[in-house]
Amino acid sequence: MQKKPSRIFLWIFLGLIALVGLYNLPPIHSRLSWRVDNLRTQVKYYFNPPDEAIFEPSTPVPTSAIVEPTATFTPTPEADILSTAIPTLTATIVPTAYPEISRLVENVVYVDQDNRWNYCGPANLTMSLLYWGWDGNRDDIAKVIKPGAADEELDFIQRGKTDKNVMPYEMVDFVNEQTNFRALIRHGGEIDLLKKFIAAGYPILIEKGRSEKDYTGKVAWLGHYQFVTGYNDVGENFIVQDTYNDGPNHPVEYAVFEEGWRSFNNLFMVVYPPAQEEEVLEILGMWQDQNWVSERALKKAEAEEKELESNDQFFAIFNQGTNLVNLQRYAEAATAFDRAFALYAELGQEETQRPYRIMWYQTSPYWAYFYAGRYQDVINLADNTLNETISEPTLEESLYWRAMAEYAAGDYTSAFADMREAVRLNPNFSPGLFYLAQWGVE
């Protein structure tokens, strides 16, 4: 009678081994792994809700401690958030009429992100390139811009699933370095400017926020890329190719479009053949001038702060910090982010979560605090992001900035470990590779 319980435990143990073996079979693993990951994430978030994690900036350091960017500490490709060098302009903005009240760019090949993890970047960039005759697909792009951890013996699709976001500069670099086409990014886009591009036959890729109910029943905010291919002034909407839920030729009202676009400082990306660069620059007009764009976007964000509330007001203040970073006014940017995070701590209505994913997609606060000499704030913000807001610490950008701050503070052991991990997670992460080489670290 005493042997029966041990036999039962033995059979349970053997059964568990069999289940693990079956789960690791490729056909079964590919179908179930995302469900297991979702369950693990939900369990962690149940006990540690990510929208309850609060970052509290420290007391600002004196102005004398502000660090001016140097060759040693200037991040390389990640710093190029306003890509493509274009001469500074001084002329005033000249309105350019778009000829029709409605326009739809033709010959767009729709691409979705189905059966892939966090694939809106590769899918949307694929549409942008296919429009101009590129011969490739979404996986060709993903192999370069989200290759996945180097030490995992999985195909790149499985490896890249923990990469929560592809940065805009990564997509621009792919176009400019891996294809025969060109691409540029600007913040501070406006609805009329998008219409001008679409009327001239240039579809536009934007980064925006979207809100949807998650497993808790609350409305959650997350980032998303979207391909804009048409507009209709009668219906007052854009036509977008949505790779996620909404599908091809989906109308989005201008006001709704602007609300989502605001949370990424109205960032847009243009892909074009090199032979048509002159036309692209003519359409850009004053948006060729990086400083003009940032100053204009800063004033807009300051006005929006007074008009908006809740999460939208948080994004307006956050955008002020981003534009000040783009203007290299780092101390002012740090102060703006202090205000943004102070408001963030007050948010969190019963039905709407705080936008806790913000640091997955945008790294301007790291820039501001680092170059303001506030290294501990960089480290604390990265700790909060990596340990509290995400199921696994797989954000190479946060690891990178924590390493930069640790190095600047003299903690070389931690800096080397974090930078190595950033490069392990993304072997193509050129800023991390650059500093490991500079530091003489294997």
Q: Is residue 68 part of a domain?
A: yes
Among the listed residues 333, 343, 267, 341, the one whose alpha carbon sits nearest the alpha carbon of residue 309: 343
Higher-pLDDT residue of 78 and 185 is: 185
- Cβ-based neighbours of 333, under 8 Å, separated by 6 or more: 320, 321, 322, 324, 325, 364, 367, 368, 372
Same domain, 226 and 254: yes
123 plus 244 within the same structural domain: yes
Range of the domain at 441: 55-80+310-442
Same domain, 65 and 189: no
Number of domains forming the structure of the chain:
3
28 within some domain: yes
Q: Given this model, what pLDDT does residue 100 score?
A: 80
Residue 158 falls within a domain, yes or no?
A: yes
Nearest-CA neighbor of 334 among 318, 358, 354? 318
Residue with token string 């011969």: 135
Domain annotation covers residue 296: no
The reply to whether 138 and 60 lie within a common domain is no
Token pair recorded at residue 346? 């007050």
Q: pLDDT class for 90, splitting at 50, 70, 90?
A: very low
Q: Per residue in 337-387, pLDDT tens? A: 999 999 999 997 667 899 999 999 999 999 999 999 999 999 999 999 999
- Do 339 and 433 lie in one domain? The reply is yes
* Cα–Cα separations (whole angstroms), residue 432 to 362, 397, 422: 17, 9, 7
- Tell which wins on pLDDT, 343 or 43: 343
State how beta strands 204-213 and 102-104 pair: unpaired
Residue 301 maps to a domain? no
- In a domain? residue 297: no
Q: Domain holding 413: CATH number? A: 1.25.40.10
Neighbours of 373 (CB within 10 A): 22
Count CA atoms within 13 Å of residue 199 on its CB side.
16
Q: Is residue 160 part of a domain?
A: yes
**Overall average pLDDT of the 176-192 stretch:** 97
The H or E element that residue 218 is part of is none
pTM recorded for the entire structure: 0.86
In the three-class reduction of DSSP (H, G, I as helix; E, B as strand; rest coil), residue 302 is classed as helix
Is 171 part of any domain?
A: yes
- Comparing CA positions, the residue from 297, 351, 344, 359 lying closest to residue 324 is 297
